[in-house]
Amino acid sequence: MFIKIMFICLIICLLIMIGNITKVKGFENLKIERTIENNRIHQGESFALETVVENNKWLPISFLIIKQKLPIDFEYIQNINIEDAGKNFFHVSMYNMMKYERRRRKYNVTVNKRGTYLFYDMEITVGDVFGFSSETRQVDNFNEVVVYPKLMDLCNFKFKTVNSLGDNIIKRWIFKDPLYIKGIREYNIEDRMKDIHWKSSMKMNKLMVKEYDYTSERELVFIINVQCCDIAYSGILSDRIESGIRIAATLSHKALKDNIPTGMWTNARIISRDSNPTNKVIPAVNSFENIMELCGRMDYITEVDFDKFLEINRRNFNRNQTYVVITSYLNERCCNMFSKLAKQGINIKLIDISKTSDLCKIQGIEKLDFIEEVK
């Protein structure tokens, strides 16, 4: 009887030892890598998320779980195992790996929200061969996906002052060269009375105006303010900020197609893993890629209040550029600073994206009141 008990105890100890060995040794020569194909996309587009698991040893792994925390904004096309976690969810994959085996799993993911999505550790759980116990470790595997704003048709942006932005808005914001008249065209509400060509108007029996060619050296800079109230963090209007970013991206695309050097500034915090993230001031150059990268990385949180941002960059304003400020909020200090810049000959335009279109009117600065975005 005693021998039987000893034999059973020996068998149990042997099984526990084998289980612990398979559990601990399971992490040896185990390579797990997450890769993302096409990590720069626009809203509504898809990217491929692939997980590669390699068991580079003779010992099989009978129980392996990979748990990845991913943003809730991701929409998986395939049915996968998901655990809810507030604003995130856990994508859970289970494997049974044979010796010297490699497995790939690829998932197509659609993202409908602009922004930068960062992925860090993966939680790896390896169980023993008998299923008695398991051990969990964190594996560092950084990835990111930058989702650019969706480019809209210019006519989809509705303003109080005009029916739509239209294709001529960019040219209207650039100083014309009065020495170079490109031609004569019919008058519209945006034209100045002093540009009317009276001789042609009498001949055509309708108002005609001179059309000037804009100076080729003129540059365009969009300034996006994400501060929505006095205390920046207490009132974030994400829908208005998103509309402002889409307006800036769409107009930048149009300007660059017209061969107008275009840049972008913002006081938003820039989402990035790097300690020195993408610069918040992009000079006016012909780089649509840089502008979209900045648009995709903008957070709703401000890095600095807008009046301080203007004070920091006031020496960067110059008369050879047209500045289009897109904002839902301006305090008195901002208005005074813009007024001084306008008096110094700086060409500034203002797009008011506030819900009530009640931003201060500044002498010498044209203001467009944003109403809505037609989907």
pLDDT at 79 over 70: no
Residues 205, 139 share a domain: no
Burial readout 212-225 (b: 16 or more C-beta within 10 A, e: otherwise)? bebeeebbbbbbbb
Query: What range does the domain containing 331 cover?
Result: 154-174+216-373
* Residue 180 CB neighbour total at 10 angstroms: 10
Give a yes or no: residue 333 inside a domain.
yes
pLDDT at 297 over 80: yes
Give a yes or no: residue 40 inside a domain.
yes
> Per DSSP, what are the bridge partners of residue 116?
146
Model pLDDT for residues 217-233, shown as the tens digit of each residue? 678 999 999 999 888 77
Residues 90, 36 share a domain: yes
Two tokens, residue 247: 């307006």
List CB contacts of 191: < 8 A, sequence separation 6 or more: 209
Q: Which of 163, 186, 214 represents a domain boundary (last residue)?
A: 214
Q: How far is CA 48 from CA 32, 76, 367, in A?
A: 17, 10, 43
Model pLDDT for residues 135-168, shown as the tens digit of each residue? 888 988 899 999 999 998 877 778 776 544 545 5
**Total structural domains within the chain:** 3
Residues 325, 259 share a domain: yes
The residue behind tokens 């655990």 is 83
pLDDT confidence of 102, banded at 50, 70, 90? very high
User: How much is the pLDDT for 244?
Assistant: 95
Residues 254, 223 share a domain: yes
Burial readout 84-100 (b: 16 or more C-beta within 10 A, e: otherwise)? eeeeebebebebebeee
User: How much is the pLDDT for 6?
Assistant: 67
Residues 288, 312 share a domain: yes
